[in-house]
Structure 1
Amino acid sequence: MHDFHFFGGGWMMFIWWFLIIVLVIVVVRALLNTNQKESNNDTPLEILKRRYANGEIDKEEFEKRKKDLLK
């Protein structure tokens, strides 16, 4: 009744879909791992500067924390 001629037919269709899903997972994990490595190399002062630049903290909080870090 149903002819499975997609990517080779029958079980091959499931194998191809499995491989495609595995490939997507590997690529996503690689991208996430790259982002984590880059952010782990930041010093506390660089993180503080980035938070201030993004508007997460105000100038008063920035100066207070900067003073604590430089002690």
Structure 2
Amino acid sequence: MYNHHLSSWGWDYALMFIGMALFWSLLIVGIFLLIRYVGHGSADPPPRSLLRRSAERMLAERFARGEIDEDEYKNRLTVLRTQSSP
């Protein structure tokens, strides 16, 4: 007389538990991915040519302001252009 199978209420509770577990899992994963995306910014370093142009520009600005003389400007510019790494 007693039915050992899940009744209608049993299925409802099982599906509710699965849905709740799925919801919380997706919410936690979404928050984790959002924090990871926002927190890391750009992982790629700028190209070497961009860094070299930036360094040359800063050197030219120092020369224009009179912080360094022409000989020092030319020497440093030569070093920047012949250097293999920025």
TM-score by length of 2: 0.42
Larger radius of gyration: 2
TM score, norm. by length of structure 1: 0.49
Which structure carries more relative contact order (alpha carbon 8 Å, separation 6+)? Answer: 2
